[in-house]
Amino acid sequence: MTKYQTFWASFRMSMLNFFVDPQWIIPNIIAPFIYTAVALMFFGNVSSSLALYAVLGGGMMGMWGNTLYGAGFALAQERWTGTLEYVLGTPSRLVWIVAGRSSSSALLGLVNALAVLLVALIGYGAQLGIANPLAFLLALVLTLASLSALGVVFCSAFLLTRSAQVMTNGLEMPIYVASGSMFPIALLPFWSQPMALALGPTWGIDAMRYAAYTTYTGMTGFGYWFNILVLFLSTIIYLTIGFGLFIVVERKVRRDATLEEY
Amino acid sequence: MWLVQLLVMPLFEMAFFVYLATFVSPTITSIPFIAVGNAMQVSASASIFAVCNLTSEEKWQGTLIPLIATPANRFPLFLGRAVYQIFNGMATITVGFFYAKYVFGVDMSRADFLALAVVILITCLAMTGFGLMLGSLGLFLRTAMIIANIFLFIGLLVCGVNFPVTDLPVWLQPFSYAIPMTYGTMAARAAVQGANLMMLTPVLLQEIATGIGSILVGYALFIGFEILARKRGTLEEF
Amino acid sequence: MSERPEKAIVASELRRAYTTTKGVFRKKHITVEAVKGISFDVDHGELFGLLGPNGAGKTTTIKMLTTLLIPTSGTAKVLGFDIVKDVMNIRRRIGIIFGGERGLYYRVSGRENLRYFADLYGVPISKRDKRISDLLDMVGLADRADHRVEGYSRGMKQRLHIAKGLINDPQLIFMDEPTIGLDPEAARETRAMIKGLVEKGKTILLTTHYMFEADELCQRIGVISSGNIVALDSPSELKRFVKDITVVEVEAFGVADTDLAVLRRQPDVTTVNADLEGERQTVRIQTPKGSEFIPVVTKLLSKAKILDVRIKEPTLEDAYLKLVA
């Protein structure tokens, strides 16, 4: 089986499971939704450029929340339903199965972005204009990829713990803050900025802002294409780390017999 | 894990809004307002979420049926477990205020700490009562998680945590006043600025009333749902 | 490239220990050895059974052989590949059927479940859909294939498990308690399917705690008890192990546990097995004395009401009881 067949099968199954019970996404998009609502209150009736900040941020948070959920909770669920064993018993590499699931979750997180957008447009009468739609789309797609790959890395940790759900809650907020989803990372204490820069989605959001505003100076000043490059590289790096981690994880799980525990 | 939740989450929750406000410089609020408000709000996850989970978790693990079958009075059983959550909430808020002063620079020089302590205690009690009401919903609905999530975060928007309730659209404000936290944030801010217990009594009484009201509603719901659930046989579904 | 390895499975001194912790504050580590040095082999085309009571180590053994668990010590080769080092080569070629309520995606259809696993096993897309249809026909799920699994009966889920376990057309199939929890008809159908698979040339290793099932299906049986193999032979040979034993079977009611204890103390009694639940009780006594023992029984059970006494041929169950005792 090629990794594509595995990835696509997992992606598809993840989507199928979602559409069967779509309500499960609601918990993940409530938080970003409310955060954006508060942010929009802060922004008040300001120009469209700042409103876009809030909407982009909210969307980003939604994608992140759902990816974490997809990686963390879904694996725990696999354990509960007893399918994790069977999945491990196939000749497919676990990392591609998780990548498929993670990507599906990130994509579904876009739903949140849409909800937030609707609220901003209708509720706050914000006017949003994107200067360069194609560039925006490219940045968005690559951000999704980077986010999915990051989900794979975290997932390997979740496979080892029984409390995947608790970890999901614990990781969300730090990422929202650290990735500068709604405010420039320049505001963060200087010691945390390297951490922020290590996260692919930080560059992704920055790239999207470049594409949206013509006058945007960006967090590093190196421009849109530099961000795109970093995004691309981050995806590769995360996947490589994930690949390595999963080999370790798989071996550990087989040694410690933790596949079936509740 | 518990330690992570206690120390890390409040910091980041507060940081998010403080940094956002620093960025935007909104007209409707200020950093100290936000810091104190969020310091109180961080307990929400302890009181609401955990209590609501009490019923969902037990449903999942199949222990609810034996529990319902015991002659022990059911509601106090849940209440007993909620007490732990109250202490958890208080600890979290204390951590929150620590961050408020030392990380976000809130001036606490005039604060009446006794009054503040009382405010924290009453808020945790009242919010736990509120959480128990949500927990009763969990007995019946499969979507208790959604309700819990909504109420967990809705406080950020409607409880005067990040900006005054009066800035909300008028139709939304009655909801604010039904949630104990709204009074809690008001009282906390006043205490930080030096108000003593006497001055805070009216607000605190309103908060206590809201809390008790929630518990009563919760109890009624509990009994009602228990009857319905037994009728419909949904206790085991998850 | 590779010639077929001589044996389908070769296990050598497999051991598996589990460590659990006891207590909250001062954690004590307890090590339990579930499998204590198991060695056996299985030929190609054989239907081999691992028979034993719950907790004997059957499931642990099968999980080691299917690469889901790493043994604490010992080695094994499945289809010529090492279970620790050559994992992917094994997984490609084997089928795993653990059965039960878990292990399926409830919210999607049976067909979707099969499709997912077909992809994970790398079944070529050109062959996939046809194979799925063929398997669904074989297990009799064709008409419910597109319904959600959560609506399937226990027997249907088991059948889906079987289809899933065959999705990659494996040479060697591992089945852990395949008929557990099934009603008699479904169990019968499952056993028929298993026999059919062997006729097609597949190699099967199955575990069970049903004696009659092992007797009916298996060409050779390994009797496993407390983590060790206590006997390994064909069913007929195992029965010969008790050929000197006859079984006195008593149907009665009013037999108490104390009566059984008295029986067990008798010098000529090997084992006493009783089913005291329900109105009609059955007591099976293994003794070399045969019919000579009947008066003894009648006297010892005089307080009960005896309905019938029969002499029976020892079955595999009796051999098993003797081995496991």
Listed by start position, the domains of chain C span 9-239, 243-324
Contact yes or no for B26 and A42 at CB 8 A: yes
Q: Which residues lie below 8 Å from residue B52, measured CB to CB, with a gap of 6+?
A: B131, B134, B135, B137, B138, B144, B145, B147, B148
Contact yes or no for B5 and A166 at CB 8 A: yes
* ipTM higher than threshold 0.90: no
Give the minimum alpha-carbon distance from A53 to chain B in angstroms, rounded to a whole number: 10
Q: How many CB pairs under 8 A join A and B?
A: 88
Instruction: State if pTM tops 0.80.
Output: no
Report the pLDDT averaged over residues B188-197.
Answer: 89
Cα R_g (chain A), whole angstroms = 19
State the Cα torsion C136-C137-C139-C141 to the nearest 10°: 60
Residue C125 forms contact with A (CB below 8 Å): yes
* A261 domain residue, yes or no: no
Between residues A15 and A128, the one the model is more confident about: A15
Q: Which residues lie below 8 Å from residue C189, measured CB to CB, with a gap of 6+?
A: C140, C155
Contact yes or no for C112 and A254 at CB 8 A: no
> Which CATH number is C243-324's, of 3.30.70.260, 2.40.110.10, 3.90.950.20, 3.30.43.10?
3.30.70.260
Separation CA A70–CA A75 (nearest Å): 8
Give the minimum alpha-carbon distance from C53 to chain A in angstroms, rounded to a whole number: 21
Contact yes or no for A41 and B167 at CB 8 A: yes
Q: Would you state the pLDDT for residue B132?
A: 77
Judged by DSSP in three states, B184 sits in: helix
Q: Would you state the pLDDT for residue A6?
A: 93
**Secondary structure element (H or E) that encloses residue B237, with its range:** none
Split at pLDDT 50, 70, 90, the class of B238 is very low
| Domain region containing A65 | 3-256
Q: Which two tokens stand for residue C15?
A: 């051991």
Number of domains in chain A: 1
Q: Would you state the pLDDT for residue B63?
A: 52
Nearest to C104 by CA among A15, A87, A1: A87
* A8 domain residue, yes or no: yes
Contact yes or no for A9 and C120 at CB 8 A: yes
Q: Which residues lie below 8 Å from residue A14, measured CB to CB, with a gap of 6+?
A: A70, A74, A100, A101, A104, A105
Strand partners, C246: C287
Q: Would you state the pLDDT for residue A112?
A: 73
Which residue has tokens 């008890």? C225
Cα C36 to chain center, whole Å? 18
Cα R_g (chain B), whole angstroms = 18
Q: Do C9-239 and C243-324 show the same overall fold?
A: no
Q: Which two tokens stand for residue C77?
A: 């080769």
Q: Is the pLDDT of residue A150 over 80?
A: yes
Tell me: domain C9-239, CATH 3.90.1150.10, correct? no
Q: Would you state the pLDDT for residue C169?
A: 94
Question: Picking from C3-17, C21-35, C290-304, which range would have the lowest pLDDT averaged per residue?
Answer: C21-35
What type of residue is A160?
Answer: L
Between residues C98 and A123, the one the model is more confident about: C98
Separation CA A257–CA C59 (nearest Å): 12
Split at pLDDT 50, 70, 90, the class of C160 is very high
Q: Is the pLDDT of residue C248 over 60?
A: yes
* A41 domain residue, yes or no: yes
Give A225: exposed, middle or buried? Use CB within 10 Å, 0-12, 13-18, 19+. Answer: exposed
Please report which residue ranges of chain C form alpha helices under DSSP H.
58-65, 87-93, 110-120, 125-139, 154-165, 184-199, 211-217, 235-240, 257-265, 294-300, 316-324
Q: Is the pLDDT of residue A158 over 80?
A: no
Cβ-based contacts of A92 with chain C (< 8 Å): 120-122
Q: Which percentage of chain A shows pLDDT scores above 90?
A: 10
Q: Would you state the pLDDT for residue B30?
A: 84
What are the pLDDT digits (tens) for A49-70?
Answer: 666 777 778 778 878 878 877 7
Q: Is the pLDDT of residue B186 over 70?
A: yes
Burial C51-62 (b: 16+ CB within 10 A, else e): bbeeebbbbbbb
Split at pLDDT 50, 70, 90, the class of A261 is low
Cα C70 to chain center, whole Å? 21
Burial C174-197 (b: 16+ CB within 10 A, else e): bbbbbbbebeeebbebbbebbeeb
What are the pLDDT digits (tens) for A203-236?
Answer: 888 888 888 877 777 777 788 889 999 999 999 9
Split at pLDDT 50, 70, 90, the class of C25 is low
Q: Is the pLDDT of residue B71 over 50?
A: no
User: Testing the interface with A: which of B1, B16, B29, B238 to mutate, by most A Cβ within 10 A?
Assistant: B16
Judged by DSSP in three states, C275 sits in: strand
Nearest to C242 by CA among C299, C183, C318, C179: C318
Cα A31 to chain center, whole Å? 14
Contact B65, B236 (CB under 8 A): yes
Separation CA A47–CA A39 (nearest Å): 14
What type of residue is C212?
Answer: F
Separation CA B226–CA B63 (nearest Å): 15
Let me know if chains B and A touch, i.e. at least 3 Cβ pairs under 8 angstroms.
yes
Judged by DSSP in three states, B159 sits in: coil
Report the pLDDT averaged over residues C282-309.
Answer: 84
Separation CA B138–CA C12 (nearest Å): 53
Nearest to A173 by CA among C119, C23, B12, C255: B12
